[in-house]
Amino acid sequence: MAVEPKMTVDKKKLVDLYTRTLKIRLFESKVWDLFGQNLIPGTLHLYLGQEAVAAGVTAALKKTDWIQSTHRGHGHVIAKGADMKRAMAELLGKRTGSCKGKGGSMHITQFDVGVLGATGVVASGLPIAVGAALSCKMRGTKDVVACFFGDGASNNGTFGESLNMSAIWKLPVIWVVENNLYAMGTPIAWTCPSENIAQRADGYCIPNKIVDGNNALEVYEATVEAVERARNGGGPTLIECKTYRMKGHSRFDPAKYRPKEEAEYWLSRDPVEIIRKIAIEAGALTEKEADKIRKKLEKEVEEAAKFAIESEYPAPEEALEDVFMEVDA
């Protein structure tokens, strides 16, 4: 695995990549912990193991750029800059949550930091990303949209519809496939005839690239190139990030269907360790600085958890609010 940082990546960016990757890791570890304490209702799709994807992509975006998330969205929104307190409170179903407790894990969204939405319907985010990118283009903002989706989602009809539309209209969108090799228990090899998903983009004349999704720097560099293309009117790019879930698909899935060797290989390639090593070897960080960053983030995550736990649940009647926006007379 190449860990030589290119000259284009400055030291500050390496620290940024390390910080984003670690932040997601710590947030999700805390979520796992609170889940174990039965403080999180419903189910969860943890982002543990895939942190480098969200970190690498968002590090290449501006605040005004958009991301479209999925059912496995905690990492995306945290990386895009969401407030961790409101994110954590949402997971606990509290009224201080970013969605006032109406969305929860699968709809965790902070619109004001550029998250279009997290969605419970697999592959439903792609059309929305098309529209947001069309809007950026029509309004002449120069903003771009990064749309995350899974290997499983790439088998849905919206994949074809949306890639095609983005290509014919040369929309500023970056299609980010998080290929974690499984859709629930179904290996991608059972549902996709080609070894890689990326080549499907060739059919739509969309430039595409396969990267190590556990290496935030690789993801970042590919995204920078894609963003540049998008901003300059060059249209969409597809980036396939090969990665792996550290945990099962959802709540109680022990992921026994994954071959031992495969799991061992991937779990030995920890995204946090990989970017930490890169940053330290490049002289962007000392061990001490890296630990300092970790301490600071741990504290923020603790505070977020405390805030969430201490917040109130919504009053039952609040269920009736937010269906329609009031119309000005």
Ligand X SMILES: Cc1ncc(C[n+]2csc(CCOP(=O)(O)OP(=O)(O)O)c2C)c(N)n1
x/- map, 216-255, ligand X, by CB under 6 A: ---------------------------------x------
Please provide the DSSP assignment of 72-114 as one string.
S-HHHHHHTT--HHHHHHHHTT-TTSTTTTSS-GGG---GGGT
Positions of E strands within the chain: 66-68, 115-117, 145-150, 173-179, 182-183, 186-187, 208-212, 237-242
| Structure token pair of residue 151 | 């290997």
Q: What would the x/- binding string for another protein be over residues 110 to 149, using CB under 8 A?
A: xxx---xx-xxx--x-xxxxxxxxxxx-xx-----x----
Q: Which secondary structure element, helix H or strand E, spans residue 267, and what is its range? A: helix 260-267
Q: Which residue's CB is nearer to another protein, number 15 or number 201?
A: 201
When asked if residue 50 is in the footprint of Mg ion (CB under 5 A), the reply is: no
* Minimum CB–partner distance for residue 251 and ligand X (Å): 12
d(CA 132, CA 139): 10
Nearer to another protein among residue 21 and residue 162 (C-beta): 162
Residue 81's binding partner among another protein, Mg ion, ligand X, none (Cβ under 5 to 8 angstroms by kind) is none
> 19 or 180, CB closer to Mg ion?
180
Q: CB 314 → ligand X: shortest distance, Å?
A: 25
- Interaction pattern, residues 148-167, with Mg ion; x per rule: CB under 5 A: --xxx---------------
Cα–Cα distances (Å) from 232 to 128, 137, 202, 225, in that order, read 21, 11, 21, 11
Task: Give the pair of three-digit tokens for residue 35.
Answer: 């889940």
Q: Which amino acid belongs to residue 291? A: D
List of residues contacting another protein (CB under 8 A): 66, 68, 97-103, 107, 109-112, 116-117, 119-121, 124, 126-136, 138-139, 145, 157-158, 161-162, 164-165, 168, 321-325, 327
List of residues contacting Mg ion (CB under 5 A): 150-152, 180, 183
